[in-house]
Amino acid sequence: MPIIEVVKSDLERLVGLRFEEITRLLEHVKCEVEEDAGDSIKLEVTHDRPDHFSAEGLARTLKGVAEVEVGLPPIEITTSSVELKADHIEERPYISMAVVRGVRLDEDAIKQIIQLQEKLHETYGRGRRRFAIGFYDVSRIRPPIYYRRVSQDDEYTPLGFDRPVKIADMYKVTEQGQKYSSLIDRERPPALVDSSGQIMVVIPVLGSECCKITTKTRDILIDVTGTDLRSVNNVMSILIYALLERSGEKKVEVVKGGNPYVHSYTRVGVDPARVGELLGVDLDLQRLKRLAEKARLGYENGEVVVPPYRINVLSWVDVAEDIALMIGYNALPRETAKVLTGGRRHAVEVATQQIRIALLSMGFAEVNNYVLTDSTAYDLCTPAAVANPISELYEVVRCSIVPQLIATAATLKRREIKIFEVGEVVRGGKTLRSVASVISRDGATLTDGLSVVKALCKRLGLRCQMTHTSLNWALPNRAAAVEGDVSGYIAEVHPDILAKHNLLVPTVAFELFLKV
């Protein structure tokens, strides 16, 4: 879970309540206190609420819980006089800009803006690969602004520097240059340049001192560039609404050119009776409307109106969760189980524990990957797609653990690796308990996998029979099927698959599926 740090006095000003009162409301926004450092506090927030990655978004939700301010946050959308002229940049084709006016900043506020920027980069931005964010002082820019390529021999003053340097040198002498310059064409990097010729930022690497925001800044220009237009628009919404919490004007100007920011509300049909049945509470229309407004949602003509920064709301079930949070989880009714039985461990869980102990005793190390993953790694089977993935990293349900183990082995950079994992996979529409392992070392053969599987079966008292089989991802004539009390396969992984993961050592994999 992301950890954010906020200054108590800053949060008090934004919410309009004393900090003692604020702490009592945190359970309604799924936040937990990680560390109290006196003047500041560290909070654990959830991944599904990126608008809570800074004090501004957190304060907006807390104001609703406390009924200091309810309903949809106020916003006025106009067209900016600032103009963008964008070239097509292959590695980062989408760009959107907006200006938020009348912002009041102090050092705490600037730290929160930077924290929001970096948390979004780290999580939803996949380390700036998917999108990158920039903030600029409008008063220090001469429009129009150009999104175009520059030369690595061009000079500018990077953030934190007091003198101009060549972009090629910036790659070497700054942490950001070393970390992010690999994402672009280093010789002809994309940049924002104003009409006076000053480079505002080398995207997505590092901004310039020329137009950075300070405590004197009143009007902020936001830019978001990326590889996915939907993500660019979603992130822009989060940033705009965060800055509006620091603005007295509540006004946003959309910059012409590029991919103009599209501000739109989502409408979700919600039946109070259905939500009430799900939560176990009596919920009429008036109570639903009041609770939705406390959650900073709107309600019109039988539909809940969702602001664009709430990118986690996909259906009425997400609205029901917000309603539950506003009521308070501890205030929801408790029910006694209708069937009372004695509990015992399921046979599959007993077998799983025995398998873990056995593999650990054989010198294997256990790893744990996510059940949801990305589709690019799957050559072994066809995974089930998630209808509404929150991220490209979690767009399918795995159908095998082996690809993840191969990817893990590749990251270890060792000549000899013995790892395993026990977990769920979905195959043929059914959820199965899988035991998978990878042996990676010089001279590894099918025999290594066979010996481990036979030892497992003998130790667990399972009837296992190995027969010849062929797999499209295995070396020819180097694969075996496992039948009996468990089913599965053992194979030497084809070098083409290993090269795709940059694993350059012979590798044997096996996967067994326990019968439930």
- Structural domains for the chain: 3-65 (3.30.56.10), 76-256 (3.50.40.10), 266-331 (3.30.56.10), 347-514 (3.30.930.10)
What is the Cα–Cα distance from 326 to 121, expressed in whole angstroms? 29
Q: How would you write the pLDDT of the chain (516 residues) with one tens digit per residue?
A: 789 999 999 999 999 999 999 999 998 998 989 999 889 999 999 999 999 999 999 999 999 999 999 999 999 999 999 999 999 999 999 999 999 999 999 999 999 999 999 999 999 998 999 999 999 999 999 999 999 999 999 999 999 999 999 999 999 999 999 999 999 999 999 999 999 999 999 999 999 999 999 999 999 999 999 999 999 999 999 999 999 999 988 899 999 999 999 999 999 999 999 999 999 999 999 999 999 999 999 999 889 999 999 999 999 999 999 999 999 998 998 877 777 777 888 888 998 999 999 999 999 999 999 999 887 667 678 888 888 777 777 889 999 999 999 999 999 888 899 999 999 999 888 899 999 999 999 999 999 999 999 999 998 888 999 999 999 889 999 999 999 989 999 999 999 989 888 888 999 999 999 865
Q: Cα dist. 169→181, 182, 197, 209, 515 in Å?
A: 11, 14, 19, 16, 59
| pLDDT per position as a tens digit, 14-27 | 999 999 999 999 98
The radius of gyration computed from the CA coordinates of the chain, to the nearest angstrom, equals 27
Q: Cα dist. 297→46, 74, 76, 222, 515 in Å?
A: 19, 11, 17, 25, 46
What is the Cα–Cα distance from 456 to 452, expressed in whole angstroms? 6
* Cα within 13 Å of Cα(450), Cβ side: 12
| Residues near 376 by beta carbon (within 8 Å), at least 6 away in sequence | none
Tokens found for residue 296: 């900073």
Q: What is the pLDDT of residue 338?
A: 76
* Cα within 13 Å of Cα(321), Cβ side: 10
What is the strand order of the sheet 32-36 is part of?
Answer: 3-7, 40-44, 32-36
**Which residues in 441-514 belong to E strands, given as ranges?**
464-468, 474-484, 486-493, 507-514
Phi then psi for residue 324, to 5 deg, are -60, -40
Pairing of strands 464-468, 76-86: unpaired
Mapped onto helix, strand or coil, the DSSP state of residue 474 is strand
Q: What is the pLDDT of residue 377?
A: 64
Q: What is the pLDDT of residue 428?
A: 85
Mapped onto helix, strand or coil, the DSSP state of residue 144 is coil
The owner of tokens 């043929």 is 428
Q: What is the pLDDT of residue 516?
A: 58
Closest CA to 515 of 459, 434, 451: 434
Q: Is the dihedral of CA 284, 290, 296, 298 positive or negative?
A: positive
